[in-house]
């Protein structure tokens, strides 16, 4: 058990995903060591994400950011192709890494069937 916050997880607010996200967080992130940001569209508005991540870094000294976008996201509508999600996730990682070079950023795409795909 640790009392240090190590990770911030950012994902969409979509109700269809929450049980998958809960299970994933439970299995992959140390309990009581993460902040969680639920925001419409995931990284759709990268500056919204940056503001929240900045706070997590400053307040809780986190070391890792996990960004999760998902299939059929309402914020993206018809623009929400796999390609677009990958581009947006990588763009968000680049922006975060530029400002906070000591932070690791992991990217995932969550399918509606609950499977997570790691994005390089
Ligand atoms: Zn969504």
Distance 50 CA to ligand 1 centre (A): 17
Q: Is residue 111 part of a domain?
A: yes
Q: Is residue 1 part of a domain?
A: no
Q: Is residue 56 part of a domain?
A: yes
Distance 28 CA to ligand 1 centre (A): 21
Q: Is residue 2 part of a domain?
A: no
* 104 band by pLDDT with thresholds 50, 70 and 90: very high
Q: How many domains does the chain have?
A: 1
Q: What is the CATH number of the domain that holds 40?
A: 3.40.1050.10
Q: Is residue 113 part of a domain?
A: yes
Q: What is the mean pLDDT of residues 18-22?
A: 97
- 3-state helix, strand, coil split of the chain in percent (to 5) is 40, 25, 35
Distance 25 CA to ligand 1 centre (A): 17
Distance 48 CA to ligand 1 centre (A): 15
pLDDT tens digits, one per residue of 62-84: 999 999 999 999 999 999 999 99
Q: What is the mean pLDDT of residues 39-55?
A: 97
Q: What is the pTM of this model?
A: 0.95
Q: Is residue 98 part of a domain?
A: yes
Distance 3 CA to ligand 1 centre (A): 31
Q: Which residues on neighbouring strands pair with residue 11, listed in sequence order?
A: 38, 68
Q: Is residue 80 part of a domain?
A: yes
35 lies in which domain range? Answer: 7-119
Q: Is residue 91 part of a domain?
A: yes
* 48 band by pLDDT with thresholds 50, 70 and 90: very high
Residue 110 phi, psi (nearest 5):
-105, 120
Residue 1: is its pLDDT beyond 80?
no
């Amino acid at each position: 058990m640790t009392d240090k916050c190590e990770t911030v997880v950012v994902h969409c607010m979509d109700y269809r995903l929450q049980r998958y996200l809960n299970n994933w967080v439970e299995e992959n992130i140390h309990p009581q060591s993460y902040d969680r940001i639920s925001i419409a569209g995931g990284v759709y508005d990268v500056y919204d994400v940056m503001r929240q991540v900045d706070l997590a870094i400053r307040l809780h000294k986190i070391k890792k950011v996990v960004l999760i976008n998902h299939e059929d996201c309402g914020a993206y509508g018809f623009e929400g192709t796999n390609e677009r999600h990958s581009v947006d996730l990588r763009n968000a990682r680049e922006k975060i890494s530029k400002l906070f070079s000591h932070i690791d950023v992991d990217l995932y795409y969550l399918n509606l069937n609950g499977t997570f795909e790691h994005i390089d």
